[in-house]
Chain A
Amino acid sequence: MRDMIKMVVVLTALAAFSGGLLAAVRDNTKDLIESQQLTFVKGPAIKSIFKDAQNDPIADRFKMMDGDVERNFFVGVMDGKPVGVAFESYGKGYGGDVGLMVGINLESDSIIGVGVTTHAETPGLGAKAKDDPGFAAQFAGVSALEPVKVNKDGGSINAISGATITSRAVASAATNVNEIYQRLKPQLVEKANSFGK
Protein backbone atom coordinates (compact mmCIF):
# COMPACT_ATOMS: atom_id res chain seq x y z
CA MET A 1 0.00 0.00 0.00
CA ARG A 2 2.79 2.41 0.93
CA ASP A 3 4.49 1.58 -2.36
CA MET A 4 1.39 2.36 -4.25
CA ILE A 5 1.00 5.78 -2.61
CA LYS A 6 4.64 6.55 -3.26
CA MET A 7 4.27 5.69 -6.93
CA VAL A 8 1.25 7.94 -7.30
CA VAL A 9 2.88 10.80 -5.41
CA VAL A 10 6.18 10.66 -7.31
CA LEU A 11 4.59 10.43 -10.72
CA THR A 12 2.11 13.21 -9.93
CA ALA A 13 4.85 15.49 -8.63
CA LEU A 14 6.98 14.81 -11.69
CA ALA A 15 4.08 15.48 -14.04
CA ALA A 16 3.23 18.71 -12.22
CA PHE A 17 6.84 19.83 -12.38
CA SER A 18 7.09 19.18 -16.10
CA GLY A 19 3.77 20.91 -16.70
CA GLY A 20 5.04 23.98 -14.88
CA LEU A 21 8.36 23.97 -16.73
CA LEU A 22 6.67 23.66 -20.11
CA ALA A 23 4.23 26.45 -19.35
CA ALA A 24 7.11 28.71 -18.33
CA VAL A 25 9.15 27.95 -21.46
CA ARG A 26 6.12 28.37 -23.67
CA ASP A 27 5.26 31.73 -22.16
CA ASN A 28 8.79 33.00 -22.60
CA THR A 29 9.18 31.86 -26.19
CA LYS A 30 5.71 32.71 -27.48
CA ASP A 31 6.53 36.13 -28.93
CA LEU A 32 9.82 34.96 -30.41
CA ILE A 33 8.14 31.99 -32.09
CA GLU A 34 5.46 34.23 -33.51
CA SER A 35 8.00 36.63 -35.00
CA GLN A 36 10.03 33.71 -36.42
CA GLN A 37 6.91 32.31 -38.05
CA LEU A 38 6.14 35.71 -39.50
CA THR A 39 9.60 35.93 -41.04
CA PHE A 40 9.98 32.41 -42.36
CA VAL A 41 6.49 31.12 -43.08
CA LYS A 42 4.21 34.07 -43.64
CA GLY A 43 6.92 36.52 -44.74
CA PRO A 44 7.52 35.09 -48.22
CA ALA A 45 3.78 34.86 -48.93
CA ILE A 46 3.17 38.44 -47.78
CA LYS A 47 6.13 39.75 -49.78
CA SER A 48 4.90 38.03 -52.94
CA ILE A 49 1.46 39.58 -52.49
CA PHE A 50 2.73 43.13 -51.90
CA LYS A 51 5.60 43.02 -54.42
CA ASP A 52 5.58 46.75 -55.12
CA ALA A 53 4.81 47.97 -51.62
CA GLN A 54 7.01 50.76 -50.29
CA ASN A 55 6.62 49.75 -46.69
CA ASP A 56 7.48 46.54 -44.87
CA PRO A 57 4.08 44.85 -44.64
CA ILE A 58 5.38 42.48 -41.96
CA ALA A 59 6.29 45.39 -39.69
CA ASP A 60 3.10 47.33 -40.49
CA ARG A 61 0.65 44.90 -39.02
CA PHE A 62 -2.17 45.14 -36.57
CA LYS A 63 -4.35 42.78 -34.65
CA MET A 64 -8.10 42.84 -34.58
CA MET A 65 -10.74 40.75 -32.90
CA ASP A 66 -13.11 38.84 -35.19
CA GLY A 67 -15.72 37.52 -32.81
CA ASP A 68 -13.63 35.50 -30.36
CA VAL A 69 -10.60 35.08 -32.61
CA GLU A 70 -7.74 37.52 -32.79
CA ARG A 71 -6.31 37.89 -36.28
CA ASN A 72 -3.16 39.45 -37.69
CA PHE A 73 -3.54 41.88 -40.58
CA PHE A 74 -0.68 43.13 -42.76
CA VAL A 75 -0.92 46.43 -44.57
CA GLY A 76 0.65 47.18 -47.96
CA VAL A 77 1.35 50.85 -48.70
CA MET A 78 1.84 52.22 -52.23
CA ASP A 79 2.39 55.88 -53.10
CA GLY A 80 1.82 56.78 -49.47
CA LYS A 81 -1.62 55.22 -49.51
CA PRO A 82 -2.57 51.92 -47.93
CA VAL A 83 -3.78 49.86 -50.90
CA GLY A 84 -4.58 46.58 -49.28
CA VAL A 85 -4.58 44.28 -46.30
CA ALA A 86 -3.42 40.70 -46.21
CA PHE A 87 -4.47 38.06 -43.74
CA GLU A 88 -4.54 34.33 -43.39
CA SER A 89 -7.18 31.66 -43.28
CA TYR A 90 -7.30 27.89 -43.55
CA GLY A 91 -8.97 25.28 -45.70
CA LYS A 92 -9.20 21.54 -45.17
CA GLY A 93 -6.66 19.87 -47.46
CA TYR A 94 -5.65 16.29 -48.15
CA GLY A 95 -3.00 16.21 -45.41
CA GLY A 96 -4.45 18.66 -42.91
CA ASP A 97 -5.07 22.38 -42.88
CA VAL A 98 -3.79 24.45 -45.76
CA GLY A 99 -2.93 28.01 -44.71
CA LEU A 100 -3.48 30.72 -47.28
CA MET A 101 -2.39 34.34 -47.07
CA VAL A 102 -4.68 36.55 -49.12
CA GLY A 103 -4.14 40.21 -49.95
CA ILE A 104 -7.26 42.24 -50.70
CA ASN A 105 -7.41 45.62 -52.42
CA LEU A 106 -9.44 47.91 -50.18
CA GLU A 107 -10.71 50.09 -53.04
CA SER A 108 -11.70 47.58 -55.67
CA ASP A 109 -12.66 44.79 -53.21
CA SER A 110 -10.69 42.31 -55.27
CA ILE A 111 -7.90 39.89 -54.41
CA ILE A 112 -4.40 41.27 -55.09
CA GLY A 113 -2.67 37.94 -54.71
CA VAL A 114 -2.48 34.82 -52.58
CA GLY A 115 0.29 32.67 -51.18
CA VAL A 116 0.15 29.31 -49.43
CA THR A 117 1.87 29.49 -46.03
CA THR A 118 1.61 26.11 -44.32
CA HIS A 119 0.52 22.79 -45.72
CA ALA A 120 1.13 19.06 -45.51
CA GLU A 121 0.04 18.13 -49.02
CA THR A 122 1.61 15.45 -51.23
CA PRO A 123 4.89 16.62 -52.81
CA GLY A 124 4.52 16.89 -56.57
CA LEU A 125 0.73 16.96 -56.44
CA GLY A 126 -0.96 19.06 -53.78
CA ALA A 127 2.28 20.78 -52.85
CA LYS A 128 2.13 22.50 -56.24
CA ALA A 129 -0.36 24.87 -54.64
CA LYS A 130 2.69 26.42 -52.99
CA ASP A 131 5.41 25.58 -55.51
CA ASP A 132 3.66 26.43 -58.77
CA PRO A 133 3.23 30.22 -59.03
CA GLY A 134 0.77 29.74 -61.90
CA PHE A 135 -1.87 28.31 -59.59
CA ALA A 136 -1.72 31.16 -57.09
CA ALA A 137 -1.66 33.72 -59.93
CA GLN A 138 -5.19 32.73 -60.93
CA PHE A 139 -6.56 34.28 -57.75
CA ALA A 140 -5.34 37.78 -58.60
CA GLY A 141 -8.22 40.04 -59.55
CA VAL A 142 -10.96 37.68 -58.31
CA SER A 143 -13.73 39.48 -56.46
CA ALA A 144 -13.42 39.45 -52.70
CA LEU A 145 -17.16 39.75 -52.24
CA GLU A 146 -18.11 36.30 -53.54
CA PRO A 147 -17.11 32.77 -52.61
CA VAL A 148 -14.09 31.48 -54.57
CA LYS A 149 -14.62 28.17 -56.38
CA VAL A 150 -12.58 25.83 -58.54
CA ASN A 151 -13.78 25.06 -62.08
CA LYS A 152 -15.22 21.66 -61.10
CA ASP A 153 -17.57 23.46 -58.71
CA GLY A 154 -18.50 26.07 -61.29
CA GLY A 155 -15.88 28.64 -60.35
CA SER A 156 -13.08 30.36 -62.18
CA ILE A 157 -10.02 28.71 -60.63
CA ASN A 158 -8.45 25.86 -62.61
CA ALA A 159 -7.73 23.07 -60.15
CA ILE A 160 -4.25 21.54 -60.07
CA SER A 161 -4.54 18.28 -61.99
CA GLY A 162 -4.52 15.33 -59.62
CA ALA A 163 -5.01 17.57 -56.59
CA THR A 164 -8.64 18.61 -56.55
CA ILE A 165 -8.90 18.35 -52.77
CA THR A 166 -5.95 20.68 -52.27
CA SER A 167 -7.29 23.11 -54.87
CA ARG A 168 -10.66 23.12 -53.12
CA ALA A 169 -8.92 23.70 -49.78
CA VAL A 170 -7.15 26.74 -51.17
CA ALA A 171 -10.37 28.03 -52.69
CA SER A 172 -12.25 27.54 -49.44
CA ALA A 173 -9.49 29.30 -47.50
CA ALA A 174 -9.86 32.22 -49.92
CA THR A 175 -13.63 32.10 -49.41
CA ASN A 176 -13.10 32.27 -45.64
CA VAL A 177 -10.87 35.26 -46.08
CA ASN A 178 -13.51 36.96 -48.21
CA GLU A 179 -16.17 36.34 -45.57
CA ILE A 180 -13.96 37.78 -42.85
CA TYR A 181 -13.18 40.74 -45.10
CA GLN A 182 -16.84 41.48 -45.70
CA ARG A 183 -17.53 41.25 -41.97
CA LEU A 184 -14.73 43.53 -40.90
CA LYS A 185 -14.30 45.85 -43.87
CA PRO A 186 -15.26 49.18 -42.18
CA GLN A 187 -12.89 48.62 -39.26
CA LEU A 188 -10.15 47.32 -41.57
CA VAL A 189 -10.27 50.41 -43.80
CA GLU A 190 -10.10 52.67 -40.79
CA LYS A 191 -7.17 50.81 -39.26
CA ALA A 192 -5.29 50.51 -42.54
CA ASN A 193 -5.59 54.24 -43.21
CA SER A 194 -3.61 54.96 -40.08
CA PHE A 195 -0.58 53.40 -41.83
CA GLY A 196 -0.70 55.90 -44.71
CA LYS A 197 1.99 58.54 -44.90
Chain B
Amino acid sequence: MAKSIVQEFTKGLWSEIPPFRLVLGLCPTLAVTKSVENGIGMGLATTFVLVCSNILVSSLRKVIPSKVRIACFIVVIATFVTVVELLMQAFTYPLFLKLGIFIPLIVVNCIVLGRSEAFASKNPVVPSTADGLGIGLGFTLSLGALGAVREILGNGTVLGMDVFGPSFEPFTFMVEAPGAFIGLGLMLCVMNLVGSK
Protein backbone atom coordinates (compact mmCIF):
# COMPACT_ATOMS: atom_id res chain seq x y z
CA MET B 1 0.00 0.00 0.00
CA ALA B 2 2.79 2.39 0.95
CA LYS B 3 4.41 1.91 -2.43
CA SER B 4 1.25 2.67 -4.35
CA ILE B 5 0.81 5.94 -2.47
CA VAL B 6 4.30 6.97 -3.52
CA GLN B 7 3.35 6.01 -7.07
CA GLU B 8 0.17 8.07 -6.91
CA PHE B 9 2.31 11.00 -5.85
CA THR B 10 5.16 10.63 -8.33
CA LYS B 11 3.01 9.98 -11.38
CA GLY B 12 1.96 13.64 -11.21
CA LEU B 13 5.60 14.69 -11.41
CA TRP B 14 6.50 12.82 -14.59
CA SER B 15 4.31 10.23 -16.26
CA GLU B 16 1.09 12.25 -15.97
CA ILE B 17 2.56 15.72 -15.45
CA PRO B 18 0.07 18.41 -16.39
CA PRO B 19 -0.14 20.25 -18.68
CA PHE B 20 2.45 18.37 -20.76
CA ARG B 21 1.20 14.81 -20.44
CA LEU B 22 -2.45 15.41 -19.64
CA VAL B 23 -2.82 18.29 -22.04
CA LEU B 24 -5.33 19.95 -19.71
CA GLY B 25 -5.47 23.28 -17.92
CA LEU B 26 -3.96 25.17 -20.82
CA CYS B 27 -5.75 28.43 -20.12
CA PRO B 28 -3.78 29.38 -16.97
CA THR B 29 -0.67 27.75 -18.46
CA LEU B 30 -0.68 30.09 -21.43
CA ALA B 31 -1.97 33.14 -19.65
CA VAL B 32 -0.03 33.51 -16.42
CA THR B 33 3.43 32.17 -17.23
CA LYS B 34 4.89 35.57 -18.05
CA SER B 35 7.30 35.12 -15.15
CA VAL B 36 8.52 32.38 -12.82
CA GLU B 37 6.84 34.04 -9.86
CA ASN B 38 3.42 34.14 -11.52
CA GLY B 39 3.73 30.56 -12.73
CA ILE B 40 4.67 29.18 -9.33
CA GLY B 41 2.05 31.27 -7.55
CA MET B 42 -0.66 30.02 -9.89
CA GLY B 43 0.62 26.46 -9.52
CA LEU B 44 0.59 26.56 -5.74
CA ALA B 45 -2.92 28.05 -5.66
CA THR B 46 -4.09 25.23 -7.94
CA THR B 47 -2.29 22.66 -5.78
CA PHE B 48 -4.09 23.88 -2.67
CA VAL B 49 -7.46 23.61 -4.43
CA LEU B 50 -6.59 20.18 -5.87
CA VAL B 51 -5.52 18.71 -2.53
CA CYS B 52 -8.47 20.10 -0.56
CA SER B 53 -11.07 19.18 -3.16
CA ASN B 54 -9.59 15.70 -3.63
CA ILE B 55 -9.70 15.09 0.14
CA LEU B 56 -13.29 16.27 0.48
CA VAL B 57 -14.56 14.55 -2.67
CA SER B 58 -12.95 11.23 -1.77
CA SER B 59 -14.23 11.32 1.82
CA LEU B 60 -17.74 12.04 0.52
CA ARG B 61 -17.53 9.62 -2.42
CA LYS B 62 -19.98 7.15 -0.86
CA VAL B 63 -22.51 9.84 0.04
CA ILE B 64 -22.61 11.79 -3.21
CA PRO B 65 -25.32 10.43 -5.55
CA SER B 66 -23.84 9.81 -8.97
CA LYS B 67 -26.51 11.82 -10.78
CA VAL B 68 -25.51 15.08 -9.08
CA ARG B 69 -21.83 14.34 -8.67
CA ILE B 70 -20.62 17.02 -11.08
CA ALA B 71 -22.67 19.66 -9.28
CA CYS B 72 -21.27 18.49 -5.94
CA PHE B 73 -17.69 18.55 -7.23
CA ILE B 74 -18.12 22.05 -8.60
CA VAL B 75 -19.54 23.31 -5.30
CA VAL B 76 -16.57 21.81 -3.45
CA ILE B 77 -14.03 23.19 -5.94
CA ALA B 78 -15.62 26.63 -6.10
CA THR B 79 -15.55 26.84 -2.32
CA PHE B 80 -11.85 26.12 -2.10
CA VAL B 81 -11.07 28.46 -4.97
CA THR B 82 -12.81 31.28 -3.12
CA VAL B 83 -10.88 30.36 0.02
CA VAL B 84 -7.62 30.59 -1.96
CA GLU B 85 -8.69 33.90 -3.42
CA LEU B 86 -9.38 35.36 0.01
CA LEU B 87 -6.14 33.98 1.46
CA MET B 88 -4.11 35.38 -1.42
CA GLN B 89 -5.72 38.77 -0.95
CA ALA B 90 -4.88 38.64 2.73
CA PHE B 91 -1.27 37.47 2.47
CA THR B 92 0.15 37.94 -1.03
CA TYR B 93 -1.74 40.91 -2.38
CA PRO B 94 0.71 41.93 -5.16
CA LEU B 95 0.65 38.40 -6.57
CA PHE B 96 -3.14 38.40 -6.36
CA LEU B 97 -3.20 41.62 -8.41
CA LYS B 98 -0.98 40.06 -11.10
CA LEU B 99 -2.91 36.80 -11.40
CA GLY B 100 -6.24 38.63 -11.21
CA ILE B 101 -9.07 36.88 -13.01
CA PHE B 102 -7.13 33.61 -13.34
CA ILE B 103 -7.55 32.79 -9.66
CA PRO B 104 -11.37 32.53 -9.81
CA LEU B 105 -10.93 30.69 -13.12
CA ILE B 106 -9.29 27.76 -11.30
CA VAL B 107 -12.92 26.65 -10.78
CA VAL B 108 -13.16 25.75 -14.45
CA ASN B 109 -9.67 24.30 -14.69
CA CYS B 110 -10.15 20.84 -16.18
CA ILE B 111 -7.32 19.38 -14.12
CA VAL B 112 -9.13 20.00 -10.84
CA LEU B 113 -12.49 18.66 -11.96
CA GLY B 114 -10.72 15.89 -13.86
CA ARG B 115 -8.91 14.63 -10.77
CA SER B 116 -12.13 14.73 -8.71
CA GLU B 117 -14.04 12.81 -11.34
CA ALA B 118 -11.35 10.39 -12.49
CA PHE B 119 -9.54 9.70 -9.24
CA ALA B 120 -10.88 11.07 -5.96
CA SER B 121 -14.45 9.86 -6.50
CA LYS B 122 -13.18 6.27 -6.85
CA ASN B 123 -10.33 6.08 -4.34
CA PRO B 124 -9.85 6.41 -0.57
CA VAL B 125 -8.66 9.60 1.07
CA VAL B 126 -4.92 8.91 1.40
CA PRO B 127 -4.19 8.02 -2.25
CA SER B 128 -6.43 10.90 -3.34
CA THR B 129 -4.40 13.32 -1.24
CA ALA B 130 -1.19 11.97 -2.74
CA ASP B 131 -2.70 12.23 -6.22
CA GLY B 132 -3.78 15.83 -5.67
CA LEU B 133 -0.41 16.80 -4.23
CA GLY B 134 1.51 15.10 -7.03
CA ILE B 135 -0.55 16.53 -9.88
CA GLY B 136 -0.56 19.94 -8.20
CA LEU B 137 3.21 20.04 -7.73
CA GLY B 138 3.70 18.76 -11.27
CA PHE B 139 1.52 21.61 -12.51
CA THR B 140 3.52 24.07 -10.38
CA LEU B 141 6.81 22.75 -11.79
CA SER B 142 5.55 22.96 -15.38
CA LEU B 143 4.27 26.48 -14.93
CA GLY B 144 7.47 27.50 -13.19
CA ALA B 145 9.57 25.99 -15.98
CA LEU B 146 7.53 27.58 -18.77
CA GLY B 147 7.58 30.84 -16.81
CA ALA B 148 11.37 30.60 -16.51
CA VAL B 149 11.84 30.03 -20.26
CA ARG B 150 9.60 32.97 -21.11
CA GLU B 151 11.01 35.27 -18.45
CA ILE B 152 14.65 34.52 -19.32
CA LEU B 153 14.19 35.00 -23.05
CA GLY B 154 11.57 37.72 -22.94
CA ASN B 155 12.87 39.84 -20.13
CA GLY B 156 16.37 38.60 -19.36
CA THR B 157 15.52 37.99 -15.71
CA VAL B 158 14.66 35.14 -13.34
CA LEU B 159 12.49 36.04 -10.33
CA GLY B 160 13.33 39.68 -11.06
CA MET B 161 17.12 39.12 -11.08
CA ASP B 162 19.16 39.98 -14.15
CA VAL B 163 20.80 36.99 -15.83
CA PHE B 164 22.50 38.33 -18.92
CA GLY B 165 23.53 41.81 -17.85
CA PRO B 166 22.70 45.08 -19.61
CA SER B 167 23.96 44.09 -23.08
CA PHE B 168 21.14 41.55 -23.52
CA GLU B 169 18.38 42.62 -25.87
CA PRO B 170 15.16 41.06 -24.48
CA PHE B 171 13.19 38.91 -26.86
CA THR B 172 9.91 40.58 -25.80
CA PHE B 173 7.90 38.37 -28.13
CA MET B 174 8.24 35.56 -25.57
CA VAL B 175 6.34 37.36 -22.80
CA GLU B 176 3.44 38.12 -25.12
CA ALA B 177 0.63 35.68 -25.88
CA PRO B 178 2.14 34.02 -29.01
CA GLY B 179 5.34 33.37 -27.05
CA ALA B 180 3.29 31.28 -24.63
CA PHE B 181 2.15 28.96 -27.41
CA ILE B 182 5.62 28.64 -28.87
CA GLY B 183 7.21 28.11 -25.45
CA LEU B 184 4.63 25.46 -24.57
CA GLY B 185 5.07 23.75 -27.94
CA LEU B 186 8.84 23.61 -27.60
CA MET B 187 8.60 22.23 -24.07
CA LEU B 188 6.09 19.57 -25.18
CA CYS B 189 8.50 18.66 -27.95
CA VAL B 190 11.41 18.29 -25.54
CA MET B 191 9.25 16.26 -23.12
CA ASN B 192 8.23 13.90 -25.91
CA LEU B 193 11.81 13.52 -27.15
CA VAL B 194 13.06 12.67 -23.68
CA GLY B 195 10.07 10.46 -22.94
CA SER B 196 10.30 8.44 -26.16
CA LYS B 197 13.80 7.14 -25.39
Q: A7-B67, A10-B72, A11-B71 are in contact. Are A29 and B86 (CB under 8 A)?
A: yes
Q: From residue A6, how far is it (CB to closest CB) to chain B in Å?
A: 5
Count, chain B residues at interface, CB 8 A: 22
Is A37's CB under 8 angstroms from B82's CB?
A: no
Question: Does A69 touch B at the CB level, under 8 Å?
Answer: no
Give A37 to B88 CA distance when docked, in angstroms: 12
Q: From residue A4, how far is it (CB to closest CB) to chain B in Å?
A: 9
Question: Does B75 touch A at the CB level, under 8 Å?
Answer: yes
Is A22's CB under 8 angstroms from B79's CB?
A: yes
Is B72's CB under 8 angstroms from A29's CB?
A: no
Give A73 to B63 CA distance when docked, in angstroms: 51
Question: Does A14 touch B at the CB level, under 8 Å?
Answer: yes
Interface of B is mostly: helix
Question: Does A184 touch B at the CB level, under 8 Å?
Answer: no
**Closest Cβ neighbor of A32 among chain B residues:** B90
Question: Does A36 touch B at the CB level, under 8 Å?
Answer: yes
Q: In B57-71, which residues have CB < 8 Å from any A CB?
A: 60, 63-65, 67-68, 71
Q: Contact mask B70-90 → A, CB, 8 Å, 1/0?
A: 011001101100110011011
Interface of A is mostly: helix
Cβ-neighbour of A7 out of B65, B82, B87, B94 (below 8 A): B65
Q: A6-B65, A22-B82, A22-B83 are in contact. Are A14 and B76 (CB under 8 A)?
A: yes
Q: Which residues of B contact A7 (CB under 8 A)?
A: 65, 67-68
Give A169 to B132 CA distance when docked, in angstroms: 46
- A-B pairs, top 6 by smallest CB distance, nearest first, are A18-B79, A32-B90, A36-B93, A29-B90, A33-B89, A7-B68
Subset of 20 A-B contacts with CB under 8 Å = A3-B65, A3-B67, A6-B65, A7-B65, A11-B68, A11-B72, A14-B60, A15-B75, A18-B75, A18-B78, A18-B79, A22-B79, A22-B86, A25-B82, A29-B87, A29-B89, A29-B90, A32-B91, A36-B90, A37-B93
Residues of A with Cβ closer than 8 Å to B?
3, 6-7, 10-11, 14-15, 18, 21-22, 25-26, 29, 32-33, 36-37, 39-41
Known: A7-B65, A10-B63. 8 other contacts (CB 8 A): A7-B67, A11-B71, A11-B75, A15-B75, A29-B86, A33-B90, A36-B89, A37-B89
